């Protein structure tokens, strides 16, 4: 039956920090990966995977001139899709900056493009009423003081010609540069809702980045900002946020990547911890011209429901091409997601963990501020649909979100053996076989009496 959860059920408003309430309410965001790798078209890790030196990589800087870049179009697409917040790469691991940093020449304003892409992104999405976040890579394969030879990811990691160069590097100089750029993002671009660092690995964790100092600086300039957990971990770790003694730089939410946690994420006291599954629409974050493995809109919708039902958010990625155009198949996914959310959004926004075991046919989400449950039906059932986990005598109203049709509890002989369980039929006259109104996800709204 129903289990109480301190954060995501009755004490939701009181237990959640004020700055996190919008984030846990909004549930669905857009991730945008764009940079020089978009010209190469082999994904955002091409420089590392293909062992491309900085000198070879320069050609993409020299040819960066996306004439179709129009973040207002991106924002319109996101708004139509029901996206509530968006995060864009200001600098990925390649080191190229899409903002006008005074600390490097390796930036978009120094290319033929000549524009501050991040400022335009922020302005466009804020104007559309979408909250904004900035992704910033603490890794940098372009900076002269960032490790090259021997680093597990650096493009020249196993090139013997670079062994001697390591002696000339000064990592403290890189940290000074990195901190200065983060300060620029926090002071030159207005209110930032989320800062998404990426990422800690190997022995490059926590205070290796002077993480406490960095986080204190960020919060000084952006006191209401939300931070992820990747100063400690990558997408495959939780970090100290789930422990009894979180570090000051533990972040505000966990970032599982390309996976949805089987049971959500909880701390050592079994309390829910905010988390966000970041997922791609195909198999790459950055544009890849040979990756046709796009997920179906149905899958994205159902996985958003799964995330919500486990108390998590979903950050859905697009990788615009070299001209700044979002791939057609990615756009189609967002378009269908928006159509579904316009009808069923109340089962996602402001909802979370229901405290009820998932039914065989789908998932359950619950309003975080009331006695409203949403039964998501992914596949047809034989006979009436069981409203598992709810006391039948406390059900006040039942309706289909897709058309507002009022439903009543089934009372035919087929359910008489289950005295305390509520059933509803979606067919006419308690038919046993019927077609789901929405084959992607049909949602039944159930309101309990107080």
Q: Strand locations in 156-237, DSSP E?
A: 194-198, 226-227
- What number is the average pLDDT over the span 98-118? 98
Q: What is the per-residue pLDDT across 32-43, written as a single tens digit (0 to 9) for each?
A: 999 999 999 999
| Residue 205 Cα distances to 138, 158, 174, 240, angstroms | 10, 22, 15, 12
Q: Judge contact between 98 and 118, C-beta under 8 A.
A: yes
Average pLDDT over all residues of the chain: 94
- Specify the pLDDT at position 5: 44
In CATH, 28-349 is 3.40.30.10: no
- What number is the average pLDDT over the span 57-85? 98
Report d(CA 344, CA 352) in Å as an integer. 14
- What number is the average pLDDT over the span 222-246? 96
Q: Judge contact between 318 and 326, C-beta under 8 A.
A: yes
Q: What is the per-residue pLDDT across 360-415, written as a single tens digit (0 to 9) for each?
A: 999 999 999 889 999 999 999 988 999 999 999 999 999 999 999 999 999 888 88
Fold of 362-448: Immunoglobulin-like (2.60.40)
In the chain, where the domains are located: 28-349, 362-448
Q: Return the percentage of the chain with pLDDT > 70, whole number.
A: 95
Task: Report residue 236's pLDDT band, with 50, 70 and 90 as the boundaries.
Answer: confident
Report d(CA 374, CA 304) in Å as an integer. 14
Q: Return the percentage of the chain with pLDDT > 90, whole number.
A: 89
- What number is the average pLDDT over the span 288-305? 98
Residue 373's contacts (CB-CB under 8 Å, 6 or more residues apart) are: 354, 356, 364, 365, 366, 367, 387, 390, 445, 446, 447, 448
Q: What is the per-residue pLDDT across 261-281, written as a single tens digit (0 to 9) for each?
A: 999 999 999 999 999 999 999
- What number is the average pLDDT over the span 119-134? 98
- Specify the pLDDT at position 420: 87
pLDDT over threshold 70, residue 242 = yes
Task: Report residue 11's pLDDT band, with 50, 70 and 90 as the boundaries.
Answer: very low
């Amino acid at each position: 039956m129903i289990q109480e959860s301190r954060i995501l059920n009755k004490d939701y408003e009181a237990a959640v920090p004020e700055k996190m309430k919008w984030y846990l309410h909004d549930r669905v965001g857009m991730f945008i990966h764009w940079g020089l790798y978009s010209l190469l078209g082999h994904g955002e890790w091409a420089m590392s995977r293909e062992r491309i030196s900085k000198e070879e990589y320069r050609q993409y800087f020299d040819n960066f001139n996306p004439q179709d870049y129009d973040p207002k179009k991106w924002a319109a697409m996101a708004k139509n899709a029901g996206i509530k917040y968006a995060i864009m790469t200001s600098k990925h691991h390649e080191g190229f900056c899409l903002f006008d940093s005074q600390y490097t020449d390796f930036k978009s304003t120094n290319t033929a493009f000549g524009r501050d892409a991040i400022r335009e992104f922020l302005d466009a999405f804020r104007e559309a009423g979408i909250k904004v976040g900035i992704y910033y890579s603490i890794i940098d394969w372009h900076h002269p003081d960032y490790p090259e030879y021997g680093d597990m990811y650096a493009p020249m990691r196993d090139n013997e010609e670079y062994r001697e160069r390591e002696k000339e590097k000064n990592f403290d100089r890189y940290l000074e540069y990195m901190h200065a750029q983060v300060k620029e993002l926090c002071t030159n671009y207005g209110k930032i809702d989320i800062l998404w660092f990426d990422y800690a690995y190997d022995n490059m964790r926590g205070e290796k980045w002077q993480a406490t100092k960095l986080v204190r600086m960020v919060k000084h300039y952006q006191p209401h900002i939300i931070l992820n957990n990747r100063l400690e971990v990558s997408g495959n770790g939780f970090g100290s946020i789930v422990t009894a003694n979180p570090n000051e730089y533990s972040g505000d939410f966990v970032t599982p990547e390309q996976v949805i946690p089987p049971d959500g994420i909880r701390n050592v006291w079994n309390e829910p911890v905010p988390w966000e599954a970041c997922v791609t629409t195909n198999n790459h974050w950055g544009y890849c011209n040979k990756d046709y493995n796009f997920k179906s809109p149905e899958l994205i919708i159902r996985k958003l429901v799964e995330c919500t039902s486990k108390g998590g958010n979903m950050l859905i990625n697009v990788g615009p091409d070299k001209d700044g155009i979002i791939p057609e198949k990615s756009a189609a996914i967002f378009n269908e997601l928006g159509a579904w959310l316009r009808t069923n959004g109340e089962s996602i926004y402001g909802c979370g963990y229901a405290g009820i075991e998932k039914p065989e046919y789908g998932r359950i989400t619950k309003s975080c501020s009331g006695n409203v449950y949403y039964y998501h039906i992914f596949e047809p059932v034989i006979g009436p649909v069981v409203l598992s986990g709810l006391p039948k005598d406390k059900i006040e109203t039942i309706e289909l979100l897709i058309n507002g049709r009022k439903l009543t509890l089934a009372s035919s002989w087929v359910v008489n053996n289950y005295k305390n369980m509520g059933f509803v039929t979606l067919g006419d006259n308690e038919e046993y076989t019927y077609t789901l109104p929405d084959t992607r996800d049909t949602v039944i709204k159930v309101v309990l009496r107080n």
